Amino acid sequence: MPNIGKEVSKKLIAVGIDTPEKLMELGSKEAFMRIRTIDDTACFSMLQGLEGAIQGVRWHHLSGSVKKDLKEFFDSFK
């Protein structure tokens, strides 16, 4: 999947998301919340990367509306 390197993959597996299908089923926000339980340094770029992986694109190519929605979600953790 695009955007999913070794470190993010390890974190996903650690929180019980061990297949692309599970990631797609749960969605980027749920996956991100789970990762935050084990890594409080998880950042906005990681959230975008998870969504990009689900959509099959590099996170840089997410639409503006998707990025805005993700930013609002991310900011709710502050």
Q: Domains in the chain, please, with CATH? A: 6-75 (1.10.150.20)
Mean per-residue pLDDT, 48-58? 97
Task: Tell me what pLDDT residue 22 has.
Answer: 98
For the record, the structure tokens of 51 come out as 């969504």
- Whether the predicted model's global pTM rises above the 0.75 cut: yes
Quick: pLDDT tens for 16-52: 999 999 999 999 999 999 999 999 999 999 999 999 9
Tokens of 40: 């409080």
Do 2 and 40 touch, CB atoms closer than 8 A? no
